[in-house]
Structure 1
Amino acid sequence: MIHRKITLCSWFLSAATTTIQLSKSPIERLISVVAWSISTTRPPTFGVAPYNPILGETHHVSKGNLNVLLEQGHPSPGNQKVLHHPAVSALHATDEKENIEIIWCQYPVAKFNGTSVEAQVKGKRQLKLLNHGETYEMNSPNLFIRILPVPGTDWVGNVNIKCKETGLVAELCYISQSFFGFGGNKRFIKGNIIDSLKSKILYKVNGHWDSTVTLKDTNNGEERIIYDAKKVISRLHTPTVKDEESVWKTESAITWSELSQAIIKKDWEKAREAKKTVEEKQRELSRERESKGETWIPKHFILSQSKEGDWDCSPIQKWVPPSPIVTL
């Protein structure tokens, strides 16, 4: 799970932060948050999972004033011992100049349905616009993996985005294609933006999250594009290392460097060996901790569990420090 976020965090956070902060009205800020939330959805690839997240793996990257940090953990009820499940990914992003903070905690819970698997992505996303005193809370769509009759993957389910301070809410629905994999509304998204204090629908959301999404004003019928996937993706840039000596040993790029190089060279035998080496090292560390009676504790987050069994994360530092890995 952390690797999918690594490919995203270098750009999707920065894509909307300035726009959101500079929006003058609460409704325009919510619309910007909706567009940002949609931008975090990328087409998943079926049958390709060369990387498995490992305990303590991190990704730390900066873009301008925005600094992003992810850490992978495996907590257990009542303590923080190493377990294989659940795998909790924690993200913290801050922009001191714009006074923006994002806290993101998620973990998958899979449900098998015979011919398919639906992984509910549990956890909470919070985007805080501190200059406006606004906190936007949202969830994630679920990952749907179809095994039969036509293999494929998609994002499905309901996503709710709400701001308690303004009473504005966005209700989105990700709709998959038909059971047989043909026709239907592939990668379709629809929904409403609502003023919950007045129980009034302000806008209709409609489109495809992998192309364009439009917004229609229910008052005057005017439409506009709020998200263009092609335009956003065209602005992607690969992160570069600014200071090699300052890169953490837990950095994902270091952990999986040999595997990544083997995949690039299409040396599949070497790729299998590289992956096996990383995973075996993790098993050895786990056995060593167990023999000493030690427990693993996250370095950058505090993980907690509610009475209902849901996991949440709290960053240890108020602001994420600048990273030696940067992207333009």
Structure 2
Amino acid sequence: MDTSNNIVLTKPFSVLAQESDAETVYKAPNLMKRILSLFKNVRPGSDLTHFQLPALFNLPKSTLQIYGEQVYSTSTDLLSMCNKGKSPVDRLTSVVAWYISTKRPTIFGVVPYNPILGETHHVSKGNLNVLLEQVSHHPPVTALHATDEKENIEIICCQYHIAKFYGATVEGHIHGKRRLKLHNHGETYEMNSPDFSIRFLPVPGNNWVGNVNIKCLETGLVAELSFTTQSFLGFRGNRRAVKGKIIDSSSRKILCEINGHWDSTVAVKNTINGEERVILDAREVISGLQTPIVKDSKSVWPTESAIVWGQVNQAIMNKEWEKAVKAKKFVEERQREILRERASKGETWVPKHFSLSHTKEGDWDCFPVQKLVPPSPIVS
């Protein structure tokens, strides 16, 4: 944990989920009992998007940091490997491996904070600079821009989630647009996200579920993936499985088959020559990850997640639950006060790092203000 001048950074989320003591680090006592009591008055089908959880149910981390870690927190540089494929199929296969690697194991019963409007998270790893900003609060929309000037790679994401309660489960439907650009090859890959499912009974657990399409706009190649979970009762089924295929959209010809588990290994099989190889070992991707460090605390923006939630992070890390509740309430009440002041003055808040567009149907998209993300004083 790095606590430079009240900038409280914690271990990457995926590492926490793999540690043997992760269950005891952040969870308050009798967590399952608390969860069931929390939802006892919530009707099935209710929208939980703006449901405020007590600090007892929080990780010491903002949702912005979770999204950012999926991009910069890796031990294996799968992103730059997307550039190295000799053929369009090779590059799409690498994009698939990178994409699946961003789906990380999670800890049951705890979730990150809902970011406040204008909150940012800015981290660098090597040549990769990553910037996130909370560009809307209702609905909660997060924008991400990442650039690697050396590899000439760019990522632009605009996503928001809608969480609904269904009695035994909470389903998080993740919407938005995601683009990975390999500028050296003139290729743009568009992709969606699976949903995130939290099951309380009969067997508690979390999982990614649903169908994903990754399409290269220029070549017409498409990867169709399916994330599956156990059966309804939670006792059988291929847990954390992912399978799919790479096809030529013009002919619908299947070029490759994909099969494995997103939290262990994933392999691809060439349908023409039968060759099979492992494209992802998830354990290698998240092994040896360390807490980001602050190189220059004076250069960290005051909107940085690790500052906004610093006191809450520290209290949760120390298991000082009452202090955590008070610190979180202070952040949230201050946010409401700022929103009321802005409304009374007739002011409209504008994101600093992105411009936005959205349709009447509720689709959002974002466009970075700067061509390149600058290096960050926080380094992973």
- Give the TM-score range, shorter chain: over 0.9
Secondary structure of the equivalent of 1:204? strand
Cα deviation code 1:235-286 (max 9, x no counterpart): 4232111111110000011111111111221111111111111111111111
8 Å Cα contact 1:3-1:53 kept in structure 2: no
Cα distance between partner residues in 2 of 1:12 and 1:56: 26
Cross-structure match for 2:255: 202
Cross-structure match for 1:54: 116
Cα distance between partner residues in 1 of 2:374 and 2:65: 21
Cα distance between partner residues in 2 of 1:50 and 1:216: 37
Cα distance between partner residues in 2 of 1:41 and 1:87: 20
Cα distance between partner residues in 2 of 1:108 and 1:56: 17
Cα deviation for residue 50 of structure 1 reads: 5.3
8 Å Cα contact 1:154-1:176 kept in structure 2: yes
Cross-structure match for 2:47: none
Letter in 1 for 2:212: V
- The TM-score with structure 1 as length reference comes to 0.92
Q: Which moved more, 1:2-11 or 1:203-212?
A: 2-11
Cross-structure match for 2:330: 277
Cα deviation for residue 111 of structure 1 reads: 3.9
Please tell me whether residue 123 in structure 1 is matched to residue 176 in structure 2: yes
- Matches for 1:105-184 after TM superposition, within 5 Å: 105-184=158-237
Please tell me whether residue 268 in structure 1 is matched to residue 330 in structure 2: no
Cross-structure match for 2:370: 317
4+ residue runs over 6 A deviation:
none
Aligned residues: 318
Cα deviation code 1:296-321 (max 9, x no counterpart): 11110111113532111111111111
Cα deviation for residue 197 of structure 1 reads: 2.6
Cα deviation for residue 162 of structure 1 reads: 0.5
Secondary structure of the equivalent of 1:21? coil
With over 3 angstroms needed to count, the CA separation of the structure-2 counterparts of 1:101 and 1:13, relative to structure 1, is farther
Letter in 1 for 2:373: V
Gaps of 5+ in 2: 1-62
Cα deviation code 1:193-243 (max 9, x no counterpart): 112233211111111100111111112222111110111111423211111
Cα deviation for residue 13 of structure 1 reads: 11
Cα distance between partner residues in 2 of 1:286 and 1:9: 31
8 Å Cα contact 2:140-2:160 kept in structure 1: yes
Gaps of 5+ in 1: 75-83
8 Å Cα contact 1:191-1:206 kept in structure 2: yes
Please tell me whether residue 102 in structure 1 is matched to residue 155 in structure 2: yes
8 Å Cα contact 2:75-2:286 kept in structure 1: no
* Bigger relative CO (Cα 8 Å, ≥ 6 apart): 2
Secondary structure of the equivalent of 2:230? coil
Letter in 1 for 2:347: E
8 Å Cα contact 1:12-1:36 kept in structure 2: no
Cα distance between partner residues in 1 of 2:319 and 2:166: 34
8 Å Cα contact 1:3-1:51 kept in structure 2: no
Q: Which moved more, 1:113-122 or 1:291-300?
A: 113-122
Calculate percent identity across the aligned residue pairs.
66
261, 265, 289: which one pairs with 1:212? 265
Secondary structure of the equivalent of 2:77? helix
Cα distance between partner residues in 1 of 2:326 and 2:207: 30
Cα deviation for residue 14 of structure 1 reads: 7.7
8 Å Cα contact 2:75-2:284 kept in structure 1: no
Cα distance between partner residues in 1 of 2:348 and 2:102: 33
Please tell me whether residue 44 in structure 1 is matched to residue 100 in structure 2: no
Cross-structure match for 1:77: none
Cα distance between partner residues in 2 of 1:93 and 1:127: 9
Cross-structure match for 1:63: 125
Cα distance between partner residues in 2 of 1:232 and 1:61: 18
Secondary structure of the equivalent of 2:311? helix
Cα distance between partner residues in 2 of 1:6 and 1:267: 27
Cross-structure match for 2:308: 255
With over 3 angstroms needed to count, the CA separation of the structure-2 counterparts of 1:57 and 1:92, relative to structure 1, is same
Secondary structure of the equivalent of 1:171? strand
